[in-house]
Amino acid sequence: MKVLCNESNPCPSGGVGISNPGYWGMNIEKGKKYKVVFYAKADGAINLNVSFVGTEKGEKLASNNIRSYKHNVTNWTRMEVIIEAKATNHNASLQITTSKSGFVWLDQVSAMPLDTYKGHGFRKDLFQMVADLKPKFFRFPGGCYVEGDYLRNAFRWKDTVGPWEERPGHYGDVWNYWSDDGFGFFEGLQLAEDLGALPVWVFNNGISHHDEVNTSAIAPFVHEALDGIEFARGSPESRWGSLRASMGHPKPFDLRIVAIGNEDCDKFNYKGNYLKFYDAIRRVYPDIQIISNCDGSENPLDHPADLYDFHIYTNAEDMFSKSTKFDNVSRYGPKAFVSEYAVWQDDAGNGTLLAAVAEAAFLIGLEKNSDIVSMVSYAPLFVNANDRKWTPDAIAFDSYRHYETPSYWVQCLFIPSSGATLLNSTLLSSSNKSLAASAIEYTNPANKKNYLRIKVVNFGDHTENLRIFVNGLDSKVQQSGSTKIVLTAPNVREENSFSEPKKIVPQHTSLEAASEDMNVILSPYSVTSFDLLIK
């Protein structure tokens, strides 16, 4: 910025400078501290005021000065200041101003709260909700984002590591926004570790939506993938492991699973490229599980893999019918990784009950086929309500609020399924095809007690009477201590929102007089979980 202030042309009382509202307004809260970092150079000494301002004219929420005092700052110099807010505003802007005449150049300006999830820069309320799902894995950095519409805009991990201010950033042309790559390969690995989840790294295989690298020229991409694994797992003395160590993580990350590409099976060069990656990774890292975009179960010798990607975005009726998708598939060859699923478009809205109930039936089908379906994840996870490029999503947020969609709450009902014992169960219903059910036995980590969880989906518009009959268990169902969880609403098109964030949430009640033979009522368009305490 150029500042021309003198006796004949004085600066305004607040000085002159720059202002930035961040992403649709910054949430500044009274009593909280924020770190502002930027790089600056000038034609002399620097005397800047760094502040957060509200939406009302002259409303200053927080302020601090940063000076170079007597010495000139003619080269790029890192500046840092901590600011404590004296008031709250959910739509604030960052301002950097000066009243000193001269030239000042600013670059790489960042404002972050000091209090973040696990201290690693992620918004605390949002990622606590992710942690509450108790995820077993974290797939990143995404799907189409990895490919790019064109290869020039693909996610390339080497451009996303090292000091943040030295990362070139890239244009995410699939979703039409610029990424500074502050969330890069290292941050994805760190987040997985913070969540207690295994990282599942998806990397580009030389293919975008519109252009491809021939298999004969794919070697540089293969080396890049191997270097990426070394960055994650290599010793601090290795070339790329030493870079990870310099970023504050000398201990290797627990990277065990990688995915070669995203939704590329039908691309001309995919199968040829894939084999180059597979052979190289298997040779150097034989323990790493490799995910293909193609289901190679019919010809596992021609297309070897540990897992294959399965994605499904469809309407509610079709999603419900897909509860039997894996009932009759081959039990040999690679297992399925359902890495993206959701009811989509009209039935989904911004997250309807109808979508969630259909997805619950689909998940029940996956649970019952867990011998061949290894992992599953809903997608996408987050959406900023100011820029809905894809709907629905599990969690919606703005600068300071959030709410969970019914689909998020469905996932919560399946948390105990990981590591549980799947029980043989039969749903006898000759007249009604709107039900789906499963049964598992698990131990509640909170009270160390054992439960039989029976989940039932009613995808019909009428109340259903269901008889639950339990036999063949070594343990007995206890008459007290059992609970019922129901997710439903009067209207299948209802959604949660910022104004009504808990409109559709699971309702917990005690299940009185539980037994091994009982009749229960299922509400229309509902997901019901019966947790029966067993001795």
Reported CATH class of domain 136-294: alpha beta
The reply to whether 2-113 and 136-294 are identical in fold is no
Instruction: With a cut of 80, say whether residue 13 has pLDDT above it.
Output: no
DSSP string, 517-535: EEEEEE-SSEEEEEEEEE-
State which H helix or E strand residue 126 sits in.
helix 124-132
pLDDT given for residue 40 in this prediction: 93
2-113: what fold? Jelly Rolls (2.60.120)
Could you give the count of Cα atoms lying within 13 Å of 137 in the half-sphere of its Cβ? Answer: 21
- pLDDT tens-place string over residues 278-326: 999 999 999 999 999 999 887 777 899 999 999 999 999 999 999 999 9
pLDDT given for residue 431 in this prediction: 59
Band (6; pLDDT cuts 50, 70, 90) = low
When comparing pLDDT for 4 and 414, which is higher?
414
421-534: what fold? Immunoglobulin-like (2.60.40)
Instruction: With a cut of 80, say whether residue 71 has pLDDT above it.
Output: no
Instruction: With a cut of 80, say whether residue 1 has pLDDT above it.
Output: no
State which H helix or E strand residue 195 sits in.
helix 185-195
- Give the mean model confidence (pLDDT) for residues 194-208: 98
pLDDT given for residue 151 in this prediction: 97
- Give the mean model confidence (pLDDT) for residues 258-272: 97
Q: Are 338 and 310 within 8 A, CB to CB?
A: yes
Radius of gyration of the chain (CA): 27
> Of the ranges 210-224, 425-439, 495-509, which one carries the lowest mean pLDDT score?
425-439
pLDDT given for residue 38 in this prediction: 95
Three-class SS string for 276-295? HHHHHHHHHCCCCEEEECCC
pLDDT given for residue 298 in this prediction: 74
Residue 188 and residue 193: Cα distance in Å, rounded?
A: 9
Instruction: With a cut of 80, say whether residue 12 has pLDDT above it.
Output: no
- Give the mean model confidence (pLDDT) for residues 70-78: 86
One-letter amino acid for residue 421 of the chain: T
Band (406; pLDDT cuts 50, 70, 90) = very high
pLDDT given for residue 67 in this prediction: 87
Instruction: With a cut of 90, say whether residue 472 has pLDDT above it.
Output: no
State which H helix or E strand residue 187 sits in.
helix 185-195
Q: What residue segments make up the domains of the chain, in order of their start? A: 2-113, 136-294, 421-534
Instruction: With a cut of 80, say whether residue 430 has pLDDT above it.
Output: no
Is the preceding peptide bond at 252 cis, omega within 30 degrees of 0?
Answer: no
